[in-house]
């Protein structure tokens, strides 16, 4: 993963100890169901320019790492906040609220018919909106394995870097929104696994179903 060359203020907590086992299970599901993906998904991958999560993460880390002044990082986040599509009011509900953030942040996730994760996010804070845009840009359209392979420490290079309480709050925003996205991904993959097990018990061939948006409490 990307290693940061910048000095960071806070060290984010490591991933859960069982994450490697979960990712292995996800990988097994992926291999088993790869043949079931729709032909339109396969053709779109050949024609569309797909940048992997690692490449996007490296791009963001390099960009924020090149901004030595904290105010410049804040300005960059405010610029990205202006690019974030607004979320429907119907989605800005307590069930989609990301807990642990000083500001209100909402995340909605679902898995599309091509088995790619789709994320939407919003906040009542402009700086938090900037964080959300970066994370959505990085993870939206990725396969579940890519989302789950990102580690908390990979985000430290994007720390705004102010030596005060607000800085810690902003790091927590990165951390909590990212964890909400990973939790939603795990929940949706588990729904897929449970669906497969149920259909196997009933003697039916497995068919991949589109999974509706997931609530993201962490």
Which one of 59, 101, 114, 134 is the catalytic residue? Answer: 101
Distance (Å, whole) CA 83 – CA 86: 9
The secondary structure of residue 120, as a DSSP letter, is E
Annotated catalytic residue 101: yes
Structure tokens at 31: 């291999």
Helix (H, G, I), strand (E, B) or coil at 79: helix
Structure tokens at 52: 């992997």
Q: What are phi and psi of 188, to 5 degrees?
A: -70, -35
How many residues are there in the chain?
Answer: 218
CA 7 and chain centroid, separation? 24
- Annotated catalytic residues are 101
């Amino acid at each position: 993963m990307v290693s940061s060359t910048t000095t960071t203020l806070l060290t984010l907590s490591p991933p859960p100890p069982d994450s490697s086992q979960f990712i292995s299970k996800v990988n097994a599901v992926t291999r088993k169901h790869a043949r079931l993906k729709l032909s339109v998904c396969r053709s779109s991958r050949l024609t569309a320019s797909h940048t992997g999560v690692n490449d996007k993460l490296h791009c963001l880390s390099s960009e924020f790492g090149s901004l030595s002044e904290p105010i410049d990082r804040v300005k960059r986040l405010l610029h990205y906040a202006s690019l974030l599509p607004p979320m429907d009011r119907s989605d800005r509900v307590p069930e989609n609220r990301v807990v642990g953030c000083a500001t209100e942040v909402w995340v909605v996730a679902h898995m599309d018919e091509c088995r790619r994760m789709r994320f939407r996010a919003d906040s009542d804070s402009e700086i938090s909106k900037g964080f959300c845009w970066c994370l959505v840009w990085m993870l939206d359209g990725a396969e579940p394995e890519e989302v789950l392979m990102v580690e908390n420490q990979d985000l430290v290079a994007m720390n705004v870097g102010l030596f005060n309480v607000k800085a810690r709050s902003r790091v927590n925003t990165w951390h909590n929104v990212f964890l909400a996205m990973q939790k939603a991904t795990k929940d949706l993959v588990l729904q897929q696994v449970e669906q497969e097990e149920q259909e196997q018990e009933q003697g039916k061939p497995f068919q991949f179903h589109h999974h509706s948006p997931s609530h993201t409490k962490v």
